[in-house]
């Protein structure tokens, strides 16, 4: 399968002449998308924008697309930075070579695709899309099941051990702190301060998501496990109450899922999504309907089993996937494994 990612590269310490050419090209592009007047833009840049992109708002700035036919990335032994990127500009034959600093080391086994030029305050950034063909493993010796929640961002359980692993507890504290902080600033009408902290919560939570997804993938790689996630489609429709809706609508379920899938695929590990219907209400021991007496505790009135609610959910996801396991304990994977009658019944 093909996977792609974006390299965020800062244009680092360009010469005054190159900066002037870059500024002129970028400004002329912004004038073109707002008014349609061409004061000097590289022809392929203009045709790429007209062909691939739609103008959402002529009042807003747009990143300048750079077609991969007109760009080039190279590595040098230059002291300033080893990475240099060539972009085309009107009136400069061969374009200009710019020193860049990517957010991570560049692996040249990846295929370079299109790029975009952004300007943030006084700095220019180039976002380069790269892609690579990866082969997913088709057999595994165990299963790593995950249940995501509000109190514990991810509860994991390995089929070989069946012990709970809780990850990302700090996310709840970060979110509660920022909710409290926003409320206090609004009450005091400190709107300037409110603007300053905007985005800080998102960055802090995203950092935890990266750490959690990395740990999950490393755990799967170490135990030769396929990763099974609960499919959260429709969770917003099933929830009731203002507090539940606030939590779900702002919780980064999809972001965590994306990070796990992306990092797992880089390692050749498959990720399967299983329907989550009733996994939080069903007893993982006897299969009867139980009660989530509070946020972190599940109790079954039938068999008297009680456990952490997120762990119980992860165990249900694991059991739901076990119908795909072979009798010798290996896991055979296909991109769309058929649902068994038992799995279909459990899902409904």
Helix 43-52 with 16-35: angle, nearest 10 deg: 40
Kindly state whether residues 89 and 128 are assigned to the same domain.
Answer: yes
Check whether residue 63 and residue 145 sit in a common domain.
Answer: no
Whether 78 and 146 share a structural domain: no
Number of domains the chain is built from: 2
Do 277 and 161 belong together in one domain? Answer: yes
Interatomic CA distance for residues 334 and 159, integer angstroms: 19
Determine, yes or no, domain membership for 152: yes
Residue 211 lies in a domain: no
Q: Give residue 338's pLDDT.
A: 39
Q: What is the pLDDT of residue 332?
A: 55
Mean pLDDT per 10-residue section of the chain, whose length is 348 residues = 91 94 94 88 88 61 88 89 94 93 90 92 93 90 88 89 89 86 88 82 89 95 92 55 53 83 93 82 88 82 90 90 60 48 38
Question: Are 113 and 253 part of one and the same domain?
Answer: no
Question: Would you say residue 195 lies in a domain?
Answer: no
Task: Tell me the whole-structure pTM to 2 decimals.
Answer: 0.77
Give Dmax over CA atoms of the chain in angstroms. Answer: 79
Q: Who contacts 76 (Cβ-Cβ below 8 Å, separation ≥6)?
A: 82, 83, 84
Both 230 and 294 in a single domain? yes
Place of tokens 């560049």: 106
**84: β partners:** 74, 99
- Residues 162, 53 share a domain: no
| Domain termination site, one of 133, 160, 184 | 133
Residues 144 and 257 in one domain: yes
Residues 120, 21 share a domain: yes
Supply φ then ψ for residue 224, to 5 degrees.
Answer: 50, 55
Residue 297 lies in a domain: yes
Can you give the CATH number for the domain in which 251 is found? 3.30.420
Phi-psi region of 308 (alpha: psi -120 to 50; beta: other; left: phi over 0): beta
Q: Is 312 exposed, middle or buried (0-12, 13-18, 19+ CB in 10 A)?
A: buried
| Cα–Cα dist 299/297, whole Å | 7
In a domain, 184, yes or no: no
Which pLDDT score, from 0 to 100, does residue 330 have? 54
One domain, residues 34 and 145: no
Judge if 152 and 93 occupy the same domain: no
Q: What is the pLDDT of residue 336?
A: 47
**Structural domain harbouring 19:** 2-133
Q: What is the pLDDT of residue 59?
A: 57
For residue 334, the model assigns a pLDDT of: 53
């Amino acid at each position: 399968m093909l996977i792609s990612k974006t390299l965020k590269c800062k244009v680092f310490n360009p010469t005054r002449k190159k900066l002037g050419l870059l500024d002129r090209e970028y400004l002329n592009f912004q004038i073109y998308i707002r008014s349609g007047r061409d004061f000097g833009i590289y022809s392929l840049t203009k045709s790429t924008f007209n062909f691939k992109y739609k103008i959402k708002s002529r009042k807003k700035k747009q990143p300048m697309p750079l077609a991969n036919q007109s760009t080039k990335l190279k590595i040098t032994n230059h002291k300033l930075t080893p990475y240099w990127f060539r972009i085309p500009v009107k009136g400069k034959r061969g374009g200009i070579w710019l020193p860049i600093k990517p957010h991570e080391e560049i692996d040249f086994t990846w295929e370079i695709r299109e790029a975009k030029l952004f300007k943030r305050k006084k700095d220019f950034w180039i976002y380069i899309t790269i892609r690579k063909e990866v082969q997913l493993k088709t057999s595994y010796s165990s299963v790593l099941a995950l249940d995501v929640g509000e109190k514990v961002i991810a509860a994991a359980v390995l089929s070989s051990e069946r012990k709970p692993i809780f990850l990302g507890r700090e996310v709840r504290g970060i979110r509660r702190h920022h909710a409290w902080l926003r409320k206090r600033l609004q009450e005091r009408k400190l709107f300037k301060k409110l603007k300053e902290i905007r985005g800080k919560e998102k960055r802090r939570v995203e950092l935890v998501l990266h750490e959690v997804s990395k740990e999950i993938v490393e755990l799967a790689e170490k135990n030769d496990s396929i990763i099974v996630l609960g499919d959260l489609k429709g969770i917003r429709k099933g929830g009731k109450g203002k507090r539940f809706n606030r939590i779900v609508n702002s919780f980064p379920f999809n972001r965590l899922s994306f990070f796990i899938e992306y990092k797992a695929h880089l390692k050749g590990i498959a990720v399967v999504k299983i329907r989550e219907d009733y996994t939080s209400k069903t007893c993982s021991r006897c299969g009867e309907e139980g009660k989530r007496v509070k946020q972190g505790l599940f109790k079954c009135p039938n068999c008297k089993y009680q456990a952490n609610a997120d762990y119980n959910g992860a165990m249900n996801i694991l059991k739901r996937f076990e119908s795909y396991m072979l009798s010798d304990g290996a896991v055979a994977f296909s991109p769309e494994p058929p649902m068994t009658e038992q799995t279909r019944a459990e899902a409904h």
